[in-house]
Amino acid sequence: MKKMVMLLCFSLFISSGNLTPSLEPIMLEPIREVVIEQPVIIPPKRIENLVNALIYVESRGIDSAIGDRHLKEPSVGVLQLRPIMVREVNRICKKKGLKERFTLKDRFDRNKSIHMFLIWKEFHHKDGSFETISRSWNGGGRGPINPRTEKYWVKVQQALEMQYVLSPSRAGNTQQHTKPKRE
């Protein structure tokens, strides 16, 4: 630090053209703090991003993941589907007149699991927010108002942010963003 002050004084001394040192104090302007604000990049709200985040939170992407082993019928697969969800998706398919039906084994198939999730989402949360969809996926019909699903939603948000930060296709999306308020 002393060397920096000496160098600064010496450069001021040389630039003034006065070769004899002055004993008068040198008045320097105070250094102002400079804050450079960069825009926060908002990831596009695509359902694929939410599906990937849910897969990460539920199973870390492992197709053969088995959770809730303490239950009679555990949740399995990348989206940790329970048998009741398979029944619900089949009910939706029947109600909509779709010929497609799913089996419990289909929960271990990544594509079929995702397809079941999308059928469920379109039926129950067609225009729902990512938070509503995620908290319902975790906590059922009352998930969005159940305080126990708040931590799950935080994990999903982190997974969304993480996948977006790692995404090579995020260049050019520099909209300003303010952090959403909790309700």
Residue 24 counted as domain residue: no
The confidence score (pLDDT) of residue 58 equals 93
For residue range 120-176, list pLDDT tens digits in order. 999 999 888 999 999 999 988 887 889 899 999 999 999 998 876 555 554 444 443
CA distance 164 to 42: 9
Phi/psi for 81 (5° steps) reads: -80, 135
93 with 116, same domain: the answer is: yes
CA distance 117 to 81: 9
100 with 148, same domain: the answer is: no
Whole-model pTM: value is 0.65
Where would I find the beta strands (DSSP E) of the chain? 66-67, 75-76
Residue 78 counted as domain residue: yes
112 with 73, same domain: the answer is: yes
For residue range 3-18, list pLDDT tens digits in order. 444 444 544 444 455 5
Q: What domain range includes position 98?
A: 59-124
Sign (positive/negative) of CA torsion 157, 160, 166, 171?
Answer: negative
CA distance 136 to 149: 8
pLDDT category, 70, cuts 50, 70, 90? confident
Domains of the chain: total? 2
73 with 120, same domain: the answer is: yes
103 with 157, same domain: the answer is: no
Residue 100 counted as domain residue: yes
115 with 78, same domain: the answer is: yes
For residue range 83-101, list pLDDT tens digits in order. 999 999 999 999 999 999 9
Residue 10 counted as domain residue: no
119 with 68, same domain: the answer is: yes
Q: What residues form DSSP beta bridges with 116?
A: none
Residue 63 counted as domain residue: yes
